[in-house]
Structure 1
């Protein structure tokens, strides 16, 4: 399934509804990233048929993802394919080399895990796990089954008791 596209459609529809006043008032013009200044307008124009289709596929997707959590308590993957985005850099400008040479519909295994969790509404937790390029933070994400926030918080708290990444400051950014 194109988890990211489906989750994006749902997020766009719900975001358009939640932020309708901000969008219609013109408040988007004050956002930092240029793409964010116009993206909200598209979300209020999302066709209902696209939103409803994404919601139907969401329901079909819950079963196979739920089956994974009958075998595993948690799934883990990097939170991002990069280190954190530096402060003051637009999201779409931070790491352009990642998009070079890839088809427009490329989905990395990392984003597939994150998107699938977002799509079905399962709980996730992102934790810091070090620093990479230019001293910027890296992290990993844990994804749990439906209503298993207890597992996430228990494992996350245990991890943070044994590490100090959450107490360190980035060297730059």
Structure 2
């Protein structure tokens, strides 16, 4: 029963964490609106579309994860009550796949994209490319921060699953 509580607590923490994607997405959209209304320079005007796109992407990620994890909370109890050992095995497999994905996407691909965007700031001196690069870096930093904490949570959950499996 302790593993069911751990699974539920993990999913609830994920629901809370994903709300930050939505909040940052709203902030990016608000920044886009601000640049649209108040932007006087070419660089300020260049930020309108990139910040709007980044905001939409963050909100899409946030809502997608929010609904997925909310549904997962109720599924945990059903799966646990149906077959505890199968629940633990399926959760262990899912957590392992997620940890592998984090290592590939979050901790390798995103830093490489940040490096490329930083190089574009240096190499291309047009307002739109600077705005795209800076907005990309800002969005990816938000993703790194939120996913970094999610990685720590899922690693801890994996340890609890391993203890119960033994």
Same fold, TM-score > 0.5, yes or no: no
**Greater percentage in helix:** 2
- RCO higher in 1 or 2 (8 Å CA, sep ≥ 6)? 2
Question: Could you state the TM-score of these two structures normalised by the residue count of structure 1?
Answer: 0.27
Question: Could you state the TM-score of these two structures normalised by the residue count of structure 2?
Answer: 0.28
**Greater percentage in strand:** 1
